[in-house]
Structure 1
Amino acid sequence: MSPRWTAAHVPDQHGRTAVITGGNTGLGFVTARVLAARGATVVLACRDPGRATAAAGRIRAAVPGAAVETLHLDLASQASVREAARRLPGPVDLLINNAGALFRHRSTTEDGHERTLATNHLGPFAFTGLVLDRLLTVPGSRVVTVTSLGHRYGTGVINFDDLHHASGWTHTGANRAAYFQSKLANLMFTYELQRRLDAAGAPTIATAAHPGNARTEFPRDLDPLSRAVASPRLRLLTWWLLQSAEVGALAILRAATDPDARGGDLFGPGGRHQFVGHPVRVASSPRSHDTEAQRRLWGESERLTGVTYAVP
């Protein structure tokens, strides 16, 4: 049996640039810290400039000499996405679409998009498309998109008749349904992007990762019961289904740096039900591989964002 994949397996990253959305906290912060420790220049692309600056300071304190930069990026705003893409220099070796959110109440963005879909899918879709030219010139570059076990839950399909939940959140758990749909969209985006990169003979690959159930600040957006289950007070009761951000981030790091990773790979915890454990290749739901739905989602995403990709 091969040894467990750990941060020690991350290859040397000197001379490489990694852009990490939501890199100021949780999984993104751990990922950024490890990559910086391996020599990468890390760009924390975050909604809150103050928190991004503070996170950069923490990384520099933990990793003397670390090269850490910040970039203001609010994925829920297409204007912010375009401005951040304009300001991001190239080349880029790693783009890690890590930022995501779950909201208790339905709201729309300035662009008229439901906020969960905007933050978790449309924003990353647009940002990736706008900066892809800075990856396509770099052999071995990667786009890593962070999904969730939640892609299997809910209806398990993209609701093309009501992508924005315009009919309202009329039942308990509707916010989770919106989140699950966005996480399924992350995988469909990855698979369709990889198909297009293959067709273009590009040197870039697209991979995905899910952290299982990791302890981060993410529960702040959940309902009171879910926050209670994830709280430190119940750690002794929930240890078997929750793991640290340090272990959860390993799936992202493997998707980003494992030399043996292939385009379209999904990495997640190797433990029971993929809740916890060190990262291995895992399978996503059968419906995530629906190529017709992938292409339809791609077309809808282009229409809603106005962003088209520099690959066929």
Structure 2
Amino acid sequence: MPKKSISEADLVDLRGKVAIVTGGNTGIGYATIQMLARKGAKVYMAARDEGRATAAIKQLQSEDIKDGSVHWHKLDLSDPRAAHKSAEEFLRKEQRLDILVNNAASSGTPPFSLTRDGLLDIMVTNHISPFAFTEALLPLQVTTAKEPGADVRIVNVSSMVHSRIKATSFATKDVFAKDYGSSFGGVMDNYGTTKLANILHVKALQTRLNTQSIPITCISLHPGSVHSTGSSSVIGSIPYIGFAAKYLASALLGSWRSGAATVAFAAAGKDVAVQREQYQGAYLVPTAVIGTPSKYALDGRLQNELYESTERFIKEMGL
């Protein structure tokens, strides 16, 4: 893949701006928060565990976040109802939201199970709850986007693993409940389906915003292969090498910072601000280059089916 260096110098000034990064107490999210805070943003680390988040925030502060600040915001993605409630609580805290980065995700460690709504747990955590969270926050982002000089963005962290999936439909609930099993291939297919959903979500949302002439930039991306807890668990599911997973992950995969470079660029890159139309609905690959996702991710019918079905599910939950 094409590579280029991305640093805080490539990001816009974020003083006075508010951002949310989900799952930011470790990994790519942690490094993304650091980069945004160093540009002056008030960043909310949206995570479930207060203790881990607080420890991560203290570590960030010790590593210098310059003019920015980092705050914990409780977010549980295991149930869309909890995600929606989290968004409502955020709306009571802040009057603006310039950047939303949906980074948190489950790597898909088996066994998989169905939630009380009859949906596969990894699909709920990686797509349906982030969708509910995004929808609930969207009115505030729309309001923010109307301000002079605004540059509002929504970023979904996807994965190249989405290209494994040859989707034919997202019109029915059974697609969102399908379990490909606990083999390495099954784990990859379950995870890949959720990552395809992340891209379809961004593209469908961008189309809807453009139709309404709402100037919000939506971007999905593959951050690269990064050494994290999730990647270690995925490698650990490969037959016969699970015992060596953490060593292989460390040797083969990149740093948090390398993965965060494309995420931070999508969230606050100067080039995106200058060439907004070019980046609307785009899919980025490392490092911060516009790439081409699978043909299924580009399918307008699948984009609409995914969006409409997910809307239906969360409405059925009373959200």
State the TM bucket, normalised to the shorter chain: 0.7 to 0.9
Of 288, 299, 302, the match for 1:290: 299
Is the CA contact (8 Å cut-off) linking 2:167 and 2:296 kept in structure 1?
Answer: yes
Of 94, 101, 104, the match for 2:99: 94
Counterpart in the other structure of 1:132: 138
Structural RMSD (CA) = 2.5
Aligned equivalents of 1:7, 1:203: Cα separation in 2: 24
Structure 1's consecutive aligned runs of 4 or more residues displaced over 4 angstroms after TM superposition are: 156-161, 226-230, 233-236
Residue 156 of structure 1: how far off its partner (Å): 4.9
Of 113, 122, 125, the match for 1:116: 122
Aligned equivalents of 1:68, 1:170: Cα separation in 2: 37
- Judge which range, 217-226 or 94-103, deviates more: 217-226
Structure 2 residue 9 is the aligned partner of structure 1 residue 17: no
Residue 250 of structure 1: how far off its partner (Å): 0.7
Aligned equivalents of 1:281, 1:255: Cα separation in 2: 10
Counterpart in the other structure of 1:275: none
| SS, match of residue 306 in structure 1 | helix
Counterpart in the other structure of 2:147: none
| SS, match of residue 288 in structure 1 | coil
Of 200, 207, 226, the match for 1:214: 226
Of 54, 74, 83, the match for 1:72: 74
Residue 37 of structure 1: how far off its partner (Å): 1.1
Structure 1 residues 203 and 79, CA gap change in structure 2 (3 angstroms): same
Structure 2 residue 300 is the aligned partner of structure 1 residue 281: no
Structure 1 residues 109 and 47, CA gap change in structure 2 (3 angstroms): farther
Structure 2 residue 37 is the aligned partner of structure 1 residue 36: yes
Structure 2 residue 188 is the aligned partner of structure 1 residue 176: yes
Structure 2 residue 246 is the aligned partner of structure 1 residue 231: yes
Is the CA contact (8 Å cut-off) linking 2:114 and 2:177 kept in structure 1?
Answer: no
CA offsets 1:73-123 (integer angstroms, 9 cap, x no match): 111212211211111033100000000112221112344321110011001
Counterpart in the other structure of 1:59: 60
CA offsets 1:23-47 (integer angstroms, 9 cap, x no match): 1110000000111111100001112
CA offsets 1:156-201 (integer angstroms, 9 cap, x no match): 5556553244567376532321110110000000000000010011
Give the structure with the higher percent helix: 2
Aligned equivalents of 1:37, 1:221: Cα separation in 2: 31
Structure 1 residues 33 and 291, CA gap change in structure 2 (3 angstroms): same
Is the CA contact (8 Å cut-off) linking 1:99 and 1:120 kept in structure 2?
Answer: yes
Aligned equivalents of 2:201, 2:42: Cα separation in 1: 26
Is the CA contact (8 Å cut-off) linking 2:261 and 2:288 kept in structure 1?
Answer: yes
CA offsets 1:113-157 (integer angstroms, 9 cap, x no match): 211100110011110000001111222100000000011014355
Structure 1 residues 20 and 167, CA gap change in structure 2 (3 angstroms): closer
Aligned equivalents of 2:228, 2:114: Cα separation in 1: 25
Residue 256 of structure 1: how far off its partner (Å): 0.9
Is the CA contact (8 Å cut-off) linking 1:165 and 1:178 kept in structure 2?
Answer: no
Is the CA contact (8 Å cut-off) linking 1:59 and 1:66 kept in structure 2?
Answer: no
Is the CA contact (8 Å cut-off) linking 2:17 and 2:42 kept in structure 1?
Answer: yes
Aligned equivalents of 1:293, 1:281: Cα separation in 2: 21
Map 1:241-256 → 2, pairs under 5 A: 242-256=253-267
Structure 1 residues 307 and 131, CA gap change in structure 2 (3 angstroms): farther
Is the CA contact (8 Å cut-off) linking 1:105 and 1:175 kept in structure 2?
Answer: no
Counterpart in the other structure of 1:306: 315
Residue 285 of structure 1: how far off its partner (Å): 0.9
| SS, match of residue 297 in structure 2 | helix
Aligned equivalents of 2:190, 2:249: Cα separation in 1: 27
- Give the TM-score normalised by the residue count of structure 2: 0.85
Q: With CA pairs under 8 Å and 6+ residues apart, which has the higher RCO, 1 or 2?
A: 2
The amino acid that maps onto 1:33 is: Q
Structure 1 residues 206 and 33, CA gap change in structure 2 (3 angstroms): same
Q: Percent identity?
A: 29
Is the CA contact (8 Å cut-off) linking 1:255 and 1:266 kept in structure 2?
Answer: no
Is the CA contact (8 Å cut-off) linking 1:60 and 1:66 kept in structure 2?
Answer: no
Q: Which stretches in structure 1 are left out of the alignment for 5+ residues?
A: 270-277
| SS, match of residue 12 in structure 2 | coil
Aligned equivalents of 1:105, 1:172: Cα separation in 2: 12
Is the CA contact (8 Å cut-off) linking 1:96 and 1:144 kept in structure 2?
Answer: yes
